[in-house]
């Protein structure tokens, strides 16, 4: 049993059952979708690169993709790297998610700490990027996350989240 916060910050108790050594909810696999810095500004920040979809649109895409696969999804965003690391550590401690989809944003190219944290939970990791990072500035071509990810999806816009959630369910 774990305590989760709802949209209003009110704690709720949730029960999970174990399937194949990985935790799943009442519907099936539980996927955690994590988003790094500035993704809360989607729809405002560089629409020529990231499109017109808002962060709320990304959340809805993930929820719909999970629902279609009888899975559960929790979508989070932070501009604070220590908060992101804490969420990943909680997955390892609580064993309450069967896979992680992550758009590390700028931390993709800079954070050894993030790469180190992502191996701790021992669940499949899917790296996703809205833009094609390999067609952009050279500093964006390197990822500290890719070597430990089960797969990388980049350049498909918001649909990349759908593909990532779908694959995460397959790997759960």
- pTM for this prediction: 0.80
Q: What is residue 135's predicted lDDT score, i.e. its pLDDT?
A: 63
On whether residue 103 sits in a domain, the answer given is yes
Sheet holding 72-77, edge to edge: 72-77, 30-35, 99-103, 125-129, 151-154
The reply to whether 26 falls in a domain is no
Q: Does residue 2 fall inside a structural domain?
A: no
Q: Are 32 and 74 in contact (CB under 8 A)?
A: yes
Inside any domain, residue 158: yes
Number of domains the chain is built from? 1
Give catalytic status of residue 23 as yes or no: no
Q: Respond yes or no: is residue 134 known to be catalytic.
A: no
CB 155 within 8 A of CB 131: yes
Residue 89 among known ligand-binding residues: no
Q: Is 116 annotated as a binding residue?
A: yes
Domain assignment of residue 25, yes or no = no
In a domain, 16, yes or no: no
Residue 14 is assigned to a ligand binding site = no
The DSSP H or E segment spanning 64 is helix 55-68
Its domain, for residue 86, covers: 34-171
Asked if residue 80 is part of any domain, the answer here is: yes
Tell me the CATH number at 44. Answer: 3.40.50.9100
Catalytic, out of 15, 23, 50, 144: 50
CA–CA distance, 101 with 35 (Å, rounded to integer): 9
Mind listing the pLDDT tens digit of every residue in the chain (172 residues)?
222 333 333 333 232 323 333 555 556 899 999 999 988 887 766 666 655 788 899 999 999 999 999 999 999 999 999 999 999 999 999 999 999 999 998 899 889 999 999 999 999 999 999 887 776 677 666 898 999 999 999 998 999 999 999 999 999 8
Which residues contact residue 120 at a Cβ distance below 8 angstroms, ignoring those fewer than 6 apart? 88, 89, 92
pLDDT for position 27: 61
- Does residue 69 sit in helix, strand or coil? coil
The answer on whether 15 is annotated among ligand-binding residues is no
Catalytic-role residue among 23, 55, 89, 129? 129
Whether the CB-CB separation of 112 and 143 falls below 8 Å is answered with no
**Does residue 23 belong to any structural domain of this protein?**
no
């Amino acid at each position: 049993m774990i305590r989760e916060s709802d949209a209003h910050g009110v704690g709720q108790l949730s029960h999970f059952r174990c399937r194949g050594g990985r935790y799943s909810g009442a519907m099936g696999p539980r996927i955690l979708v994590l988003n790094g810095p500035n993704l809360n500004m989607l729809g405002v920040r560089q629409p020529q690169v990231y499109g017109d979809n808002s962060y709320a649109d990304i959340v809805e895409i993930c929820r719909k993709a999970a629902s279609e696969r009888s899975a559960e999804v929790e979508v989070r965003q932070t501009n604070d790297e220590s908060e992101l690391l804490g969420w990943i550590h909680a997955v390892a401690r609580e064993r309450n998610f069967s896979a992680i989809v992550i758009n590390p944003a700028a931390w993709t190219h800079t954070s050894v700490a993030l790469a180190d944290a992502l191996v701790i939970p021992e669940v499949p990791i899917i790296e996703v990027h809205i833009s094609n990072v390999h067609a952009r500035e050279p500093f964006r071509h390197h990822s500290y996350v890719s070597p430990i990810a089960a797969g990388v999806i980049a350049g498909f816009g918001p649909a990349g989240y759908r593909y990532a959630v779908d694959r995460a369910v397959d790997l759960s």
